[in-house]
A and B are shown apart, each in its own frame.
Chain A
Amino acid sequence: MASTIFRSLHTNPCLLHPTALLRRKMSFSATPDKVKPQVKVAPNIQNKTLEKASKDYEAVIGIETHVQLNTLTKAFCSCPYNYGSPPNTSVCPVCMGLPGALPVLNMKVIESAIKVGLSLNCKLSFNSKFDRKQYFYPDLPKGYQISQFDVPIATGGYIDVDLPLEYGGGHRKFGITRVHMEEDAGKLLHSEGGSYSQESYERLRFTLSLFWILFVYFMQVDLNRAGVPLLEIVSEPDMRTGIEAAEYAAELQRLVRYLGVSNGNMQEGSLRCDVNISVRPIGHIEFGTKVEIKNLNSFSSVSRAIDYEISRQVLLHSQGEDKEIVQETRLWEEGAQKTITMRKKEGLADYRYFPEPDLPGVFLTQDYVGGIRNTLPELPETKRRRYEKMGLSMQDVLFLANDVNVAEFFDTTITKGADVKLATNWIMGDIAAYMKNEKLTINEIKLSPKELAELIASIKDGTISGKIGKEILFELLAKGGTVKGLIEEKDLIVDPAEIEKMVEKVVSDNPKQLEQYRGGKTKLQGYFAGQVMKLSKGKANPGLLNKILLEKLNAKS
């Protein structure tokens, strides 16, 4: 593949379009994974034979995840990284791999790695180091990647996952083999898709004044991403289905967002999953031949690609053609909804790892780690278990704990004294619907947890009706303000004398119903209340109204 890319670049020197090149070319799942935890699964198109066969086999799945850390600067130089910046505008001699330049470790990378390691229940290496992983590729400026080889910063942990209810629910614990730190590579710029504007060409030439014109013409590499810190998280081969794998990835995303170490955004490549998958007859201990799948840009593609790959391998097994399963890297084709061969592995690549001599060893102290441990926030798993104990249903728990900001909103609302169940209903109902329609995050809405708590209290104590409450909610969401202020604005009737007049009118206008009520049909109280409310155009204070109404109805019994 490398050679074809290169050739196309080489033969189309004038067709350069950097901005188009920065975008990933694959199509993505339309739903932003920011908002939505659950996984969509393609309709099951497997035929019956396959369904039968799949009962005799099990898949063994492990995932390698690359998490891009959101440190202010890159791992080994002081360049900032902003996704989507014009090509080669965030580069320096160090991340371009110029002669004589040396890496200096950004200590924030260690801090993030420790946070993730601790949160994944790993054992930390107090005496670790960096190594060089060596291979040639145009997006790798130094000809080696600074990574960690035999002493990763964290090893031997696990992650707890609650599966979505629509897929049967359940709790799983997946092993974490290791977490290590490394640097990202640059990106090859593909040249199709329009011509290069003169303006951007000049700008590029200016920023690349260090490079040869030859370079500008022949090889298009954007090194903005080169040197950006990554954590590689390797799971144990503990997953068995596409759903489990997707939910594992979703939990990692949740975790890094809770920790604030990454935006975890799959579309931007801040969270990348490579899946290893093999299939074996149930009962066998030996693993089948492992296939790697790349190009998974959403949780649903993780799930669907795995399910597709399981079917493919099971089919080959059941037809006695398991020799056809070879160790290879396959690409998930979103359009065709299938995996295709990317490259066959011809023996193991020899990366000739050796300790990075430009960087001193990484030595941690108990104090340093302890300090970081003390700043860890409540993690998704702990939060879910706490919500469960608060009496919330699993569906509520999964929804609220999915997004750290939603969870925080909820927690603050509760701290302000709101009823748990009511707060949950408001957040999961009208507030979530509003956010979805307006494409806003919970941090972007104008409603504050304090006002939500106030709103819930006002309805509960009868100051306003539920109907008015809803009206106020939408005003708070869109425009902000306080519940008290909005109640005043609504000119609600709180004068008992005024309400009494209306009650008297309704009672005298409905003698028949009054007689029935007094004859024992007390249910009619609701009818009367409705009539009074209607008369007040919904503005009567429901608490007062009911109190006065009851007095009147029961007055001359």
Chain B
Amino acid sequence: MLSTLQPPRSLSHFRTNPTLLLRYTSLKPLSSLSSQPVIHSTITDQPQSPNPLPHSQILSTRHSLLSRHLTATQLADSFLARLRLTEPHLRSFLHVSDSVLAQARELDEKIQRNEELGPLAGVLVAVKDNICTAEMPSTAGSRVLEGYTPPYDATAVRKIKELGGIVVGKTNLDEFGMGSTTEGSAFQVTANPWDVSRVPGGSSGGSAAAVSARQCMVSLGSDTGGSVRQPASFCGVVGLKPTYGRVSRFGLMAYASSLDVIGCFGMSVADAGILLHAISGHDRLDATSSKREVPNLEAEFVSISSLDSKPLKGLRIGLIRETLDDGVDTGVTSAVRNAALHLEELGCFVNEVSLPSFSLGLPAYYILASSESSSNLSRYDGVRYGNHVAADELNSQYKDSRAKGFGSEVKRRILTGTYALSAGYYDAYYKRAQQVRTIIRKSFKAALDENDILISPAAPSAAYKIGEKNNDPLAMYAGDIMTVNVNLAGLPALVLPCGFVEGGSAGLPVGLQMIGAAFDEGKLLKVGHIFEQTLQNCNFVPPLIADEVTS
């Protein structure tokens, strides 16, 4: 069945509308950088009126609290107010915590008593609903888990709480992370804050939209084939997919175990990096989590004032040729080419590199991810938890519980994966896909031996209309071409907004993907931070909240 995907018929399906670069005028000469405020001093009392440059909401929160400039309650209040205001348009949350203010008040009392604060104190974090939280329902966007509340926190969530972070709520997603639009949620469709008639991307669409619309400060998503990076691109926020094994998967409801990672969303590279630092590290509850030490990622966020004119001098950047082929929106291509120019101005050597195995990634990904998901989702049988359909006979109980509990995309992937693992087909599909995976891993390794960082678009297009690709799953799968290879290779990748294409009332953001060597998130964050701090005339605040601020 999947063989029709190979070669991807896909790329020709993309819209090739002529695009305009909105608000992206020119690159400011670097000599003027010194006049830019350093991120530590960009702290603002009113997150509603964002600085033209992305600033670290986490650092400004810490600063506000420590300087007693703002209380945690005030901060939480202002975010919750915006959440309430925007949520009817966006529907990015499946559940909003009712204890946010209580936790903020508790924190304020601690500050009153001069107690020590965790590095994430007062930081409002939204969590994708396929990540377990002990005090909130966790449904993975599926009917099969409707009303299910886990008895434990995922390791990433536990760490955030231990460091003082406050979980705002659970965000919407494509059921079990299977989808690229968040339309695959069993409960609601989330809208893109840049244009509510468009999808926020997926599967972590809720987490991306929530950060984009400043409903929270940062959020957790999960990325199996691009589910953090593509919605980050669609929503104009920073999305960070760490190296496989960097962050514990314990408590992440498995979709494809060998590809799944928990990732971070933020309004700035620094926020995504600080959040990643908080959740990284070996976990004895996840045998696939790496024992490598986590370097101090915060050290990468140097103040812009201390940069020289060519802060990235000598850095070798490889622009992946295959990602700028036919089938990619020209607006996206030119935004990425402009980003490359910007990197050159920062001192980088930018070369085009070819990854001949690139197009093999998509079919290999869909075979491996579907195969693993067919197994991982077996536990949703209605026996121990979740949706249970009473039946007189065991097999009917299984059939009915699963037929009523799963949505069509999930069923499609379970069937695909079951087929690929069946006796007689295993060698032709699963085993071959694993061989492709090895080839892809090697070709990335080779390219990253020659280059410090590889760049590409995060998605072949900007956000498209809700319903546009609903009836064409293959077109939707093809949209993952930019991201799946990175999961197959287990590498870290950072997506950050780099420009706009035409669409909506204020244009639609385009994301640049930076891919690094395994466990080299530090380099991605350093480059990403300098890139965003030096990118001029790009304001990635969606019109939805810009309007509300003015009204």
Contact = CB atoms under 8 A, between A and B. Distances in A.
Interface of A: 2-3, 5-7, 10, 93, 96-105, 132, 134, 136, 138, 141-144, 209-212, 214-215, 218-219, 221, 348, 350, 352-354, 357-360
B378 interface: yes
B383 A215 contact: yes
Contact of B148 (A99, A136, A348): A99
Contacts of B390: 10, 214, 218
Interface string B456-472: 00000000000000000
Q: Helix, strand, loop or mixed for chain A's interface? A: loop
Contact of B257 (A7, A143, A358): A358
B140 interface: yes
Contacts of A221: 383-384
B138 A99 contact: yes
Given A99-B148, A354-B430, A3 B385 contact: no
B285 interface: yes
A136 B284 contact: no
Interface string B117-143: 000000000000001100000101000
Contacts of A359: 287-288
B375 A358 contact: no
A191 B397 CA distance: 19
A306 to B, nearest CB: 31
Contact of B383 (A103, A138, A144): A138
Given A104-B285, A138-B383, A352 B421 contact: yes
A346 B422 CA distance: 17
Interface string B376-415: 0111110111001010111101100000000000000000
Given A6-B393, A100-B252, A134-B378, A215 B384 contact: yes
B67 to A, nearest CB: 38
Contact of A212 (B252, B253, B378, B385): B385
B145 interface: yes
B285 A7 contact: no
B488 interface: no
A136 B393 contact: no
Interface SS majority for chain B: loop
Contacts, number: 130
Interface residues of B, number: 50
B379 to A, nearest CB: 5
Nearest to B421: A352
A308 to B, nearest CB: 31
Contacts of A219: 383
A100 B150 contact: yes
A100 B252 CA distance: 5
Q: Which 7 A-B pairs have the closest CB atoms?
A: A143-B378, A357-B257, A357-B258, A352-B421, A6-B394, A100-B251, A99-B253
B237 to A, nearest CB: 25
A357 B372 contact: yes
Contact of A136 (B138, B372, B374, B378): B378
B254 interface: yes
B45 interface: no
10 contacts: A97-B384, A99-B148, A99-B254, A101-B250, A144-B378, A209-B151, A211-B384, A212-B388, A221-B384, A354-B371
Nearest to A208: B384
Contacts of A215: 383-385, 388
B173 to A, nearest CB: 14
A209 B426 CA distance: 40
Contacts of A214: 388, 390
A547 B288 CA distance: 80
Interface in B407-437: 418, 421-423, 426, 430
Contacts of A93: 150-152
A211 B378 contact: no
Contacts of A138: 381, 383, 394
A211 B385 contact: yes
B145 to A, nearest CB: 7
Contacts of B250: 100-102
B249 interface: yes
Given A132-B375, A360-B288, 12 more contacts: A2-B395, A98-B152, A100-B251, A102-B254, A141-B379, A144-B375, A218-B388, A348-B423, A352-B421, A354-B375, A357-B288, A359-B288
A260 B374 CA distance: 39
Nearest to A354: B421
Interface string B501-512: 000000000000
A306 B394 CA distance: 32
Given A98-B151, A100-B252, A136 B398 contact: yes
Contacts of B394: 2-3, 5-6, 138
B430 A102 contact: no
